[in-house]
Each structure stands twice: as structure tokens, then as C-alpha cells.
């Protein structure tokens, strides 16, 4: 599943090609996505100019002005989706469900084999949309730090890994990056969130920022078929310390990495380095 670094990589890859362009055509090949493609999307978007593409958690926000549209396209890549830049005349592949055709001949093309992603239209305030209104702070922002983790964890018996993955606590720290951050911080993912000190939470917040920033620099983590907006895969997989490596030796101490299930998600950790 594309996580925050993959979505941010996509944003950075496609933004220079679409910002300021006018949409001349909308081609919908498959409207039955996780959220059905709005029936009036074509009429709303043709003639609209694309504003500055932004990201909130794992959502991409595409503001549009002009034509019949003044609002925002809310895009989610789901479990297998990708957005890439193509050129007019480039034949669609299987599972290329939607194209935005731009006035310079470029296409913004949405590909999603599992159809768990979606594109939706927001006519009102983005901040008031229920999918965005209750989200926690961005992990690379100053609003996210160890003090926040320590404050919100008091009295919580849930394991620290699902606590860190709670989007109300902080957005975008998914399974891969939570596992890696906990390893860097030396914290056992099974430990109760409420039993971790402020000092250790400060290390965990710093580790989460470090892991996410490095993943963005490397273009994300390609585990199956993720590619960024330019069609390039991500390379952070080569730097993973624990995720997907159960039964292998720890890169730091050599101990065999163990696998547990927390919050219905597989979690790999080092029994020696993480306590």
C-alpha cells in the first residue's frame, strides 16, 4: 500500500507537469472505484485550471478554478494505485481508469489494479471534509514531537506500534515506517504506549521523522508495483532494517528478527535491540 513517502513522492513528481495547466478533457474508463467517480466530474473539470497540488496525510489535494469547477479533487491511491504523467496518444494499460488531459498534451493518468483508490470532488471547505477533519498533525511538521506522543499515550494500554499508526495521533506513519522508527528508537513494538517515558518518546518522534524523510529522498519503498509520478520505483526497500525481514539476522546485533501481530498487522522487531 502506498504510504506517506510514496504519496509525497507522487506529489513531487507530477506537480511540475500539472500546476497551472488547463484541463481540456476528462476520460473515465472505470467509474466503479472505492468511491464511485462523480457522474458530473467531466462537466465540472473541463476548462478548469489546476492550482498548487498539496498533500494531507495520504490524500492528494488538487485545487481547480474556472470552467464549471471551483473546488478540490481529493485523490487517494488506495492499496495499489498510482498517478503518473503520460502523453496524448500513449495507449492506456489495463487498470488505467481515468485520465485528465491537459492543454500541453500531457495526461495525468490514474492506475489502480485493485480499485481501492478513488477521486472525489469537494466543492466546500477541504478542512471540514470528515475524511480530513479529525486527522492528527503531519509527522514532519513541528506539531509532531515526543511531547505529543507522551501526552496522548498516558493511560493507554494499546501497544505502542498501533498507537503510533493511529491517524488521530499523527498521520502517515504506516506499517513499514512505524516498524523502522521503533527499531531506530530501540523500542519493543509490543510495549504498552502508556508505559513509555517522555525521553523515549522524544527518540521515537525523531526516529519517525528521520525514517520518513529518508524514504521520501529515496522515492518511497517499492514492495510490489508502486511507482512515483514519473514512473520510477522507490528505493528505500534497500534500507529496511526490520520490515519484511523476520527470521533474518538483525543488521545491528545479529540476533534473529522476530514476527508478531499487533493491531492485525505483521510486526518485525529485534528482541535484543528493542526493549
Residue 219: predicted pLDDT: 74
Question: Which of the residues are catalytic?
Answer: 2-3, 58, 265
The secondary structure of 131-158 as a DSSP string is HHHT----TTSTT-SHHHHHHHHTT--S
Half-sphere exposure of 85 (CA within 13 A, CB side): 17
Residue 76: predicted pLDDT: 96
95 is in an annotated binding site: yes
Q: How far is it, in rounded angstroms, from Cα 156 to Cα 167?
A: 16
| Virtual torsion, Cα 62, 214, 170, 140, nearest 10 deg | -70
Question: Structure pTM?
Answer: 0.87
Residue 237: predicted pLDDT: 56
251 is in an annotated binding site: no
Instruction: For each of the domains in the chain, give its residue range(s) and CATH number, in order of start.
Output: 4-133 (3.20.190.10), 146-269 (1.10.8.50)
With cell 498534451, the residue in question is: 105
Q: What is the pLDDT along the chain (275 residues), one digit of tens a residue?
A: 688 999 999 999 999 999 999 999 999 999 999 999 999 999 899 999 999 999 999 999 999 988 666 899 999 999 999 999 999 999 999 999 999 999 999 999 999 999 999 999 998 888 889 999 999 999 999 999 999 999 999 999 999 999 999 999 999 999 999 999 999 999 999 999 999 999 999 999 999 999 999 999 887 554 344 344 445 544 455 679 999 999 999 999 999 999 999 999 999 999 999 99
Q: Are 234 and 6 in contact (CB under 8 A)?
A: yes
156 is in an annotated binding site: yes
Half-sphere exposure of 16 (CA within 13 A, CB side): 5
Amino acid at each position: 500500500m502506498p504510504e506517506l513517502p510514496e504519496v509525497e513522492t507522487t506529489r513531487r513528481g507530477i506537480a511540475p507537469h500539472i500546476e497551472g495547466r488547463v484541463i481540456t478533457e476528462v476520460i473515465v474508463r472505470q467509474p466503479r472505484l472505492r468511491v464511485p467517480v462523480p457522474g458530473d466530474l467531466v462537466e465540472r473539470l473541463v476548462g478548469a485550471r489546476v492550482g498548487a497540488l498539496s498533500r494531507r496525510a495520504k490524500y492528494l489535494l488538487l485545487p481547480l478554478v474556472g470552467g464549471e469547477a471551483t473546488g478540490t479533487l481529493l485523490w487517494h491511491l488506495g492499496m495499489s494505485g498510482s498517478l503518473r504523467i503520460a502523453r496524448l496518444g500513449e495507449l492506456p494499460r489495463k487498470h488505467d481508469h481515468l485520465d485528465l488531459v491537459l492543454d500541453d498534451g500531457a495526461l495525468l493518468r490514474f492506475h489502480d489494479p485493485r480499485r481501492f483508490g478513488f477521486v472525489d470532488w469537494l466543492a466546500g471547505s477541504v478542512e471540514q471534509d470528515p475524511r480530513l477533519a479529525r486527522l492528527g498533525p503531519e509527522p514532519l511538521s513541528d506539531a509532531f514531537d515526543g511531547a505529543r506522543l507522551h501526552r496522548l499515550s498516558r493511560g493507554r494500554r494499546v501497544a505502542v506500534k498501533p498507537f503510533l499508526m493511529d491517524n488521530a495521533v499523527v498521520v502517515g506513519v504506516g506499517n513499514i515506517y512505524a516498524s523502522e522508527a521503533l527499531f531506530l528508537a530501540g523500542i519493543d513494538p509490543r510495549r504498552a504506549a502508556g508505559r513509555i517515558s517522555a525521553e523515549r518518546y522524544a527518540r521515537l518522534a525523531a526516529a519517525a521523522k528521520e525514517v520518513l524523510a529518508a524514504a521520501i529522498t529515496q522515492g518511497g519503498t517499492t514492495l510490489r508495483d508502486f511507482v512515483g509520478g514519473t514512473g520510477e520505483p522507490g528505493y528505500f526497500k534497500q534500507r529496511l532494517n526490520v520490515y519484511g525481514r523476520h527470521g533474518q539476522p538483525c543488521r545491528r546485533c545479529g540476533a534473529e528478527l522476530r514476527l508478531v501481530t499487533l493491531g492485525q498487522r505483521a510486526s518485525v522487531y529485534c528482541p535484543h535491540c528493542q526493549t
